[in-house]
Amino acid sequence: MKNLSRTWTLAEALDDMAQQLGLRGKIGEQTVIQQWQELVGEAVANHARVKSIKDGTMFLTVEESSWRYEIHFNREALRRTINNKLGGEIIKEIIVR
């Protein structure tokens, strides 16, 4: 139980509620989709689109084979970068198609 004797910011209260309702992961997944370019940079964002995210698995669509290979090869570093910027383990796996 949280300490009720201190003042909470609205952000803290909403975060706590999302955690209690089991929505934190879903909110994080939507944040990845909405902030894709800011999270991965313009170069990657110009060549890869988030097709969907389900239960921490992110599916990317990449049209050019050279970019598909590059992103596939660096998907673990990309996953860590996204999670570090969002402050949690939102993305568990990246699948490139």
Average of pLDDT values for 39-66?
96
Top-confidence residue, 21 or 40: 40
For the chain, percent of residues with pLDDT exceeding 90: 67
pLDDT at residue 34 greater than cutoff 80: yes
CB 60 within 8 A of CB 96: yes
pLDDT at residue 1 greater than cutoff 60: no
Q: What is the pTM of this model?
A: 0.78
**DSSP per-residue codes, 3-28:** -TTS---HHHHHHHHHHHHT-HHHHH
Q: Which domains does the chain have, with CATH numbers?
A: 10-96 (3.30.300)
CB 57 within 8 A of CB 51: no
Among 44, 60, 52, 61, CA closest to 26? 52
